[in-house]
């Protein structure tokens, strides 16, 4: 196996090749590994021609220096790869090494173990100076304050091996399948080496523990410390080296230095696990915040058991944009989606500001609920306040789009409080937390009923009886809804007001409704005709019901007392 390494300020990559291969420089100055037949003929290239007993390197590049001999290498030269070549072209170091032939001075790597440390520490020629120890301990303390950014994390680890540990160069490697990649390096003196010994890396990865060269021999000394994941599998390595040179006569790696590098690798492994946990927590937080208000999302993140399925009283809200089909015909497709996004932003903001849980978006509307996953004592009030905020936010959207809209946007909202089955029916990646059951169906039917009633926000008695007078509510009618077994009282919800005209109009409507339900159709019609057009009162809706009841009475046969009483319950057909 031959290692081919490229190092410059823009890149640090190593390729292991066993056949004819090239590296070529592109216009940006980066070098790429190619099959030799793919290399452009006009590009600067180095081509490896493997054969035994020694391979050759074909140089097709100008300005190349051979660092071992300090000689220039002309374009077209073929260099014999006895075991190792280190070339320099401009600011790029190119190192080519036949690892099977490369000498390590016959020195084996020594496993770092406590018993070896105890038996060998007396043979060491003195320990590090107190100033050196001080720098080491200071740097060790910094391990716990590393950046949460993974790239900076690896860069810091590589720098630590050089300063303060005191080696000449360092790399952090990560394993991807069967391939090792350089993810960070710190090489103050790249002339001493820019590559890692791939065979020794595999040896240490198989052993699973730190190994290093001691002080015997004059060659480059290595220390390799594996990085383990939470399953104790080797996923990376901290690789440091010390070269023998004029600026440093020290040989080999001292035990304490090897221990520091091992501690560094352990810290990198722990840091990677911490980063993975933080990333997972961030993904979960984003998932929760898509569905829940921030305060609820924070609580759910602390205790995911709150998402477990259970039976719970909830207030459910359905909101739907009126006339969306006509809007689609008016607007271009891009404009339709931009407008719809603005509307959904306004509705979602109202839900979140009042502590709601977003169930889902559907077509031109959304569904939300309160009192799950966390309990909220005033959930009917919170839901109604969100509904009114939705209504108040819509005029601003209409105003921004007034040049293309033929009429202001309108919204229908239905609310009901009742028991439902709540829980997450999605996954850990795509949360879909929501309610199931009759409560949901009733809230949805109420939202559809707003089209017939002409009132934008309607709710059931179960909602309004929990508002404690904080909002304005009044009964619209008693109605039968499709799919709902029993008739229900339908109420309108409005912001509180002190406007006496509005309060009088509501009282006027309630009197008319009472007369209608009592069977006095003429008096009901008279009251409705005098009713001012205020507070979104469904005046015309009740007039139509009075007229329908008149026609029903006129259609009765003489003497037919089967249905002499006025139908006080109004059938709200959604057809």
pLDDT score at 289: 75
The pLDDT value given to residue 145? 60
Give the Cα separation of 530 and 116 in Å (integer): 103
Residue that terminates a domain, selected from 261, 276, 291: 276
Residue 296 lies in a domain: no
- With beta carbons less than 8 A apart as the criterion, state whether 462 and 419 touch: no
Per-residue pLDDT, 115: 39
Buried b (16+ CB within 10 A) or exposed e, 285-316: eebbbebbbeebbeebbeeeebbeeeebbbbb
- Reported for 396-401, long-range contacts at CB under 8 A and 24+ positions apart, including other chains, are 396/346, 397/339, 397/342, 397/343, 397/346, 400/342, 401/339, 401/342
Please tell me the total count of domains within the chain. 3
User: In this structure, are 75 and 127 located in the same domain?
Assistant: no
Structure tokens at 177: 């399948």
Same domain, 332 and 436: yes
Q: Please tell me whether residues 321 and 177 are part of one structural domain.
A: no
Domain that holds residue 201: 110-276
217: CATH: 3.30.450.40
Main-chain phi, psi angles of 182, to 5 degrees: -85, 115
| Beta strands at 411-424 and 457-460: parallel, antiparallel or unpaired | parallel
Closest CA to 362 of 298, 457, 448, 280: 448
b/e sequence 150-172, b meaning 16+ C-beta within 10 Å: eeebbbbbbbbbbebbbbbbbbb
Residue 547 resides in a domain: no
Residues 259 and 337 in one domain: no
Backbone phi, psi, residue 38, to 5°: -90, -15
Predicted local confidence at residue 400, as pLDDT: 95
Do residues 240 and 384 share a domain? no
Give the pLDDT score at 292: 82
414 falls within a domain: yes
373 burial type by CB count under 10 A (0-12 exposed, 13-18 middle, 19+ buried): buried
CATH of the domain at 35: 2.60.200
- Asked whether residue 221 falls in the same domain as residue 329, the answer is no
Q: Which residue has the tokens 């074909």?
A: 58
Dihedral sign, Cα of residue 149, residue 150, residue 155, residue 158: positive
**Within this chain, do residues 332 and 212 fall inside the same structural domain, yes or no?**
no
Is there a domain that residue 468 lies in?
A: yes
Of 440, 431, 525, 510, nearest in space to 472 by CA: 510
Cα(172)–Cα(268) distance, integer angstroms:
10
pLDDT value of position 142:
63
235 and 122, same structural domain? yes
Q: Indicate if 84 and 51 belong to the same structural domain.
A: yes
Does one domain contain both 123 and 83? Answer: no
Whether residue 223 lies inside any domain: the answer is yes
Q: Answer for the pair 332, 406: CB distance below 8 angstroms, yes or no.
A: no
Instruction: Kindly state whether residue 129 falls inside one of the protein's structural domains.
Output: yes
The DSSP 8-state label assigned to residue 557 in this structure reads P
241 C-beta neighbours (distance < 10 Å), count: 23
Distances (CA, A) of 133 to 136, 156, 169, 405: 5, 19, 19, 74
Mean pLDDT by 10 residues, the chain (575 residues): 91 88 88 70 81 84 91 93 92 90 73 58 54 62 58 87 92 95 96 94 96 82 95 96 76 89 90 82 77 80 85 98 88 92 96 93 93 95 98 96 92 98 80 91 96 94 96 95 93 95 93 94 92 82 91 68 60 66
Clarify whether residues 61 and 169 are in a common domain. Answer: no
Q: What are φ and ψ of residue 124, in 5° steps?
A: -75, 150
How far apart are alpha carbons 40 and 34 in whole angstroms? 10
CATH number at residue 418: 3.30.70.1230
Residue 42 is assigned to a structural domain of this protein: yes
Domain boundary among 466, 496, 526: 496
Q: Tell me how crowded residue 263 is: count the other CB atoms within 10 A of its CB.
A: 17
As given in the structure block, the two tokens for residue 534 are 């205020």
Residue 125 shares a structural domain with residue 269: yes
Q: 98, 120, 152: which is the final residue of a domain?
A: 98
The rounded distance, in Å, linking the Cα atoms of 343 and 542 is: 31
């Amino acid at each position: 196996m031959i290692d081919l390494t490229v190092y410059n300020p823009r890149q640090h990559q190593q390729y292991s090749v066993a056949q004819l291969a090239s590296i070529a420089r592109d216009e940006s100055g980066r070098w790429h590994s190619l099959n030799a037949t793919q290399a452009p003929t006009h590009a600067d290239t180095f081509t490896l021609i493997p054969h035994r007993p020694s391979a050759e390197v074909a140089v097709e590049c100008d300005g190349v220096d051979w660092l071992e001999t300090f000689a220039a290498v002309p374009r077209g030269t073929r260099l014999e790869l006895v075991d190792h070549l280190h070339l320099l072209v401009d600011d790029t170091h190119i190192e080519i090494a036949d690892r099977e032939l490369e000498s390590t001075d016959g020195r084996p790597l020594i496993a770092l173990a406590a018993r070896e440390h105890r038996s060998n520490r007396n043979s060491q020629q003195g320990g590090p100076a107190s100033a050196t120890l001080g720098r080491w301990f200071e740097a060790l303390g910094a391990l716990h304050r590393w950046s949460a950014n993974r790239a900076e994390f690896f860069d810091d680890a590589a720098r630590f091996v050089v300063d303060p540990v005191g080696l000449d160069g360092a790399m952090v490697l990560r394993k991807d399948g069967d391939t090792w990649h350089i993810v960070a390096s710190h090489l103050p003196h790249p002339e001493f080496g820019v590559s890692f010994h791939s065979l020794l890396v595999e040896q240490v990865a198989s052993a699973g523990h730190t190994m290093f060269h001691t002080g015997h021999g004059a060659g480059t000394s290595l220390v390799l410390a594996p990085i383990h994941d939470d399953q104790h599998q080797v996923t990376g390595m901290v690789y440091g080296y010390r070269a023998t040179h004029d600026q440093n006569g020290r040989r080999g790696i001292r035990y304490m230095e090897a221990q520091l590098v091992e501690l560094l690798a352990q810290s990198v492994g722990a840091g990677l696990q911490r980063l993975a946990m933080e990333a997972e927590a961030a993904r979960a937080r984003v998932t929760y915040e898509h569905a829940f208000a921030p305060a609820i999302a924070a609580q759910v993140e602390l205790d995911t058991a709150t998402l477990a399925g259970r039976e719970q009283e909830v207030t459910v809200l359905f909101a739907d944009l009126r006339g969306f089909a006509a809007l689609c015909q008016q607007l271009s497709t891009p404009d339709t989606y931009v407008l719809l996004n603005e509307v959904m932003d306004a509705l979602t903001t109202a839900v979140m500001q009042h502590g709601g849980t977003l169930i889902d978006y559907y077509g031109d509307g959304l569904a939300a609920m309160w009192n799950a996953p966390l309990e909220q004592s005033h959930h009917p009030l919170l839901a109604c306040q969100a509904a009114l905020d939705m209504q108040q936010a819509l005029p601003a959207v209409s105003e921004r789009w007034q040049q293309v809209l033929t009429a202001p946007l309108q919204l229908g909202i239905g609310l009901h409080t009742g028991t439902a089955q709540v829980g997450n029916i999605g996954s850990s990646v795509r949360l879909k937390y929501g309610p199931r059951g009759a409560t949901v169906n009733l809230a949805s039917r109420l939202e559809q009923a707003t089209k017939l009633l002409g009132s934008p926000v309607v709710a059931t008695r179960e909602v309004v009886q929990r508002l404690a007078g904080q909002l304005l509510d009044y009964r619209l009618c008693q109605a039968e809804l499709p799919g709902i077994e029993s008739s229900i009282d339908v109420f309108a919800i409005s912001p509180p007001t002190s406007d006496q005209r509005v309060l009088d109009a509501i009282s006027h409507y309630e009197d008319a409704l009472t007369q209608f339900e009592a069977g006095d159709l003429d008096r009901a019609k008279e009251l409705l005709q005098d009713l001012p057009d205020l507070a979104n009162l469904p005046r015309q809706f009740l007039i139509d019901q009075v007229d329908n009841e008149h026609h029903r009475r006129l259609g009765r046969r003489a003497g037919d007392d089967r249905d002499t009483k006025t139908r006080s319950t109004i059938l709200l057909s959604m057809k």
